[in-house]
Amino acid sequence: MARSMKRRHFLAAATAGLAAPAIGRAQGGLKSAKTSLRLVTLSHGLVQPWSLAFLPDGRMLITERPGRLRVFANGRLEPTPLAGVPRVAATSQGGLLDVCLHPAFAQNRVLYLSYSAEGAGGNATTVARAELGEGGLQGLTVIFEAVPRAPGGLHFGSRIAFDRAGLMYVSAGERYTKPRAQNLGDLGGKVARLKDDGSVPADNPFVGRTGARPEIFSYGHRNPQGLAMHPVTGRIWEVEHGPRGGDELNILKPGANYGWPLATHGIDYDGSIISPNKSLPGMEDPLRVWTPSISPCGLCFYTGDKFPAWKGSLFTGGLSAYALFRLELDGERVIGEERLIEGQLPYIRDVRQGPDGLLYLVTHSDDGGLFRLDPA
């Protein structure tokens, strides 16, 4: 069965049999090893939501994969999407994906969108910068494209995160073409590091190297769908999808090779061996590997006070595991893991900590929802 067919069957299975909770309903009695919690339904009616961001005025922005940027305000989903969103290639896994605010958004109103865009030769992971005005986006400018373009709609990656220096990291999948991840002249299968206007920092690891793209910060990635800055060390952490097995959690290092497809813990979808090597000299080993796959998506360090026992934990959505994963850390070591709200929601696509210290989730389905975790 083709990969796209597998995905369609998976999406159908993910939403079948999981009834959407009523808006405002708080489902209690949910347990964690360290606390009790409630799952609160905030909204339905989102079409394949992919990411969310919190505005300083209390509103939320939510991307929908078909190409809409929605606003959640005053306890409800605004009916009219924001204007000025770029045209996206909403095919298979592609479409409007991440949304990320500039670190100085309160002053400059600048935000970033990642999406798949069509052009000569096919589609590419793309990032645009714009200002949020009344009712929509203004001055939208494309600042990054993970070229070369390629046909098809798989493995766009497409998360955005900023570090303490105000530099921007963008993840791009290898577009389901394995060799791209190891090709330094290709931006597929890479994490790029950029200034906030899309230009290249002078200290990027491959600046000045013949045959290498200067935007590259790290390479050897398959389909990275989570980026987050560690609140203490300031380093960027990443999660990516393996094939059958071999999902990874990594800490990104400048110029480092994360192995795909030369080293992997996964096998191909038809059961064949991709590589006999799980580790190779000169390549970074994952901090955590999931086999079987959980399909990690979204990444969030918890720094709030509403769940004191979770402070310092790392959260990721498990798309195919129908669960939210909490990883307990000791510095840069994973020392524990638990599955939360397992079987309660289909296809958790993103997890973010809100300014109120609570956790917010979106679920990727045709009747997707916005949810919040509260202390019980």
The domain made up of 3-375 has a fold known as: Neuraminidase (2.120.10)
Burial label, 247 (beta-carbon count in 10 A; 0-12, 13-18, 19+): buried
**How confident is the model at residue 12, as a pLDDT?**
42
Report the catalytic residues.
Answer: 155
**pLDDT tens, residue by residue, 140-159:** 999 999 999 999 999 999 99
Question: In this model, does residue 5 exceed pLDDT 50?
Answer: no
37-52, pLDDT tens digit by residue? Answer: 999 999 999 999 999 9
In DSSP notation, 30-67 reads: EE-SS-EEEEEEEEEEESSEEEEEE-TTS-EEEEETTT
- Write out pLDDT tens, residues 227-255: 999 999 999 999 999 999 999 999 999 99
pLDDT band at 27 (very low <50, low <70, confident <90, very high): confident
Whether residue 78 has pLDDT greater than 70: yes
How much is the pLDDT for 4? 38
As a whole number, mean pLDDT of residues 121-139 equals 97
Give residue 195's pLDDT. 98
Alpha carbons within 13 angstroms on the beta-carbon side of residue 33 total 10
144: left (phi over 0), alpha (psi -120 to 50) or beta: beta
Domain ranges of the chain: 3-375
pTM for this one? 0.94
Task: Give the pLDDT confidence score for residue 28 in this predicted structure.
Answer: 66
